[in-house]
Amino acid sequence: MQLYLERGFEQTTVAEIAKRAGLTGRTFFRYFADKREVLFAGAGSLREHVLIALQSAPASASPMEAIAAALDAAAEALGGHRERSRQRQAVINANPELQERELIKLSSMAAGLAEGLRARGVPEPDASLAAETGIVVLRVAFERWVTETADATLPDLMRESLARLKTITAGR
Amino acid sequence: MQLYLERGFEQTTVAEIAKRAGLTGRTFFRYFADKREVLFAGAGSLREHVLIALQSAPASASPMEAIAAALDAAAEALGGHRERSRQRQAVINANPELQERELIKLSSMAAGLAEGLRARGVPEPDASLAAETGIVVLRVAFERWVTETADATLPDLMRESLARLKTITAGR
């Protein structure tokens, strides 16, 4: 990622990334489908972590309570390295292809959460609405965390965003 | 779009699309940046239509009421040709690149709605939360409209999804 920051994503070649990481080009492609994937290396394990948290929520939890538990797990996992997250987001925001890839990853996580809710017996459209809304809350909180200077933690901002969402959807 | 359905998106060339539409390749690129854009030709005017509806909502409307007015306009505009919408969605769902493009278009509409809410005096993070949540409601309703066989209209499904969202976020 350091290379992307130094030269910009478009100007960085796979050969350069591999060299910096001490890999051959061939080894690089064993780990990553393309150079966009380097920035989303943690997405698979994050998704798994979040889905396990959803499954582990008490059976009595409402759909939004179960989603909140999953979001807490996401915020804990993502909230450790603010400066690194800031740099990464700056690289992504500067490149439309990376933004597309990010949206697909988030959409895949939303689909996983919706499936997890259906497995808990939540019917449609409730499962999709709760899952996709959860991802919105996470994105908005994450955006605030990387752009604002206040020192609120990501889990704090996530819970605050969820509370705001409740107030807003309640109507007035 | 007929060509995409007949042969699949990947197998269709710009030359073939242009020929079917009675255009030269050069004229094609005057109208569309690439062949993905053909499927999103209406996105710009839809976005404008929806943003005008948001601006036209009464000053007394709450953020979610203003978003609901914008979504009504979107549902009215999109809800006319169910069979055509079904075919189009089948083409998009079969191709990851098209899904990425669709997510970017929806994300751009969400950003426009958030800006429109801020112009109405709604602070952050409320503006982003209401706008992005509105897009979730629209997507879920649209998905049901193109996949379910019941003959509910898109505006009906949209309002029903919004009502479900309120119930879900209220907690139990």
Residue of B nearest to A102 (CA): B100
CATH of B41-169 given 3.40.50.2000, 1.10.260.40, 1.10.10.10, 1.10.357.10: 1.10.357.10
**Mind listing the pLDDT tens digit for each residue in B69-105?**
999 998 888 888 888 888 888 888 888 888 888 888 8
Task: Match 């079904």 to its residue by tokens.
Answer: B86
Cβ–Cβ of B107/A103 closer than 8 Å?
yes
CA distances from B4 to A63, A90, B21, B41 (A): 38, 36, 13, 15
Residue B42, pLDDT above cutoff 80: no
Tally the residues of chain A.
172
**Using N-to-C axis directions, what is the helix angle for B126-147 and A154-169, rounded to 10°?**
70
Of A142, A4, A166, A149, the closest CA to residue A79 belongs to A142
Listed range (A20-29, A127-136, B50-59) with the worst mean pLDDT: A20-29
Task: Name every residue whose Cβ is closer than 8 Å to that of residue A68 and which is 6 or more positions away in sequence.
Answer: A134, A159, A162
Rounded Cα–Cα distance for residues A130 and A125 (Å): 9
The arithmetic mean of pLDDT across residues B114-131, rounded, is 96
**Mind listing the pLDDT tens digit for each residue in B152-166?**
899 999 999 999 999
**Res A156: pLDDT:** 92
At CB < 8 Å, which residues of chain B contact A? Answer: 62-65, 96, 99-101, 103-104, 107, 124-126, 128-130, 132-133, 136-137, 139-141, 143-144, 160-161, 164-166, 168-172
Q: Is the ipTM of this complex over 0.90?
A: no
Residue A120, pLDDT above cutoff 90: yes
Residue B143, pLDDT above cutoff 80: yes
Among B104, B141, B168, beta carbon nearest to A130: B168
Structure token digits, residue B6: 């007949």
Question: Per-domain residue ranges for chain B?
Answer: 1-35, 41-169
CB of B49 closer than 8 Å to CB of B77: yes
Rounded Cα–Cα distance for residues B105 and B127 (Å): 18
**Res A116: pLDDT:** 96
Rounded Cα–Cα distance for residues A171 and B165 (Å): 11
User: Biggest alpha carbon distance in chain B?
Assistant: 58
CB of A94 closer than 8 Å to CB of A9: yes
Rounded Cα–Cα distance for residues B39 and B37 (Å): 5
Cβ–Cβ of A164/B126 closer than 8 Å?
yes
Rounded Cα–Cα distance for residues A121 and A110 (Å): 17
At the second CATH level, the architecture of B1-35 is Orthogonal Bundle (1.10)
